Amino acid sequence: MNNKKGQAAMEFLMTYGWAILVVLIAIGALAYFGVLNPGRFLPSSCTIMPGVSCEDFQAIDSTDTVSLTLRNGIGDDVTNVTVLINQPDSNVTICPLTCSSGCTGTNTMPDGQLVTWTSSSCTAGTGVGAQGSKFKADILFTYTTGSSLSHTKTGSVTTQVE
């Protein structure tokens, strides 16, 4: 009688053991092929600091460029603006962006205006990445206010390469 209970317990453990093993292999295969990659499901985002909003952004594979459209909401014109992209996870360390539209004077962002900043080719290493890949970088935003004080703020941009 004791033997039958032991056999039933062993069959129970073997059945569930095989089922758990099959589930683990399936999860491992999905993870290996990138189906379970959470980065694919993360939304695109761009943040800098309160007062400066990131209205639009893109990374383009064919030209290895990054473009950011920023709105100055600080309440005053900001001058001597520099915008740099830093990709610490790749070979591109610093990529400067230049004002392509909306600036007045020498890199001045008028209060309340949209200003577009575009990089020239960021081709060191792998550039911005292949089309469809995830582009993630830090934004270094340096500016001077009317009081002649220089400020440096750090933000981030995450998007899919177009």
Q: What is the mean pLDDT of residues 140-149?
A: 85
Per-residue pLDDT, 76: 86
CA distance 124 to 3: 71
Residue 55, pLDDT score: 92
pLDDT tens digits, 116-133: 988 876 655 556 777 878
Provide the pLDDT for residue 18: 93
3 state SS of 131? coil
Per-residue pLDDT band at 61 (split at 50, 70, 90): confident
DSSP 8-state secondary structure symbol assigned to residue 108: B
Predicted model pTM:
0.70
pLDDT of 96 over the 90 cut: no
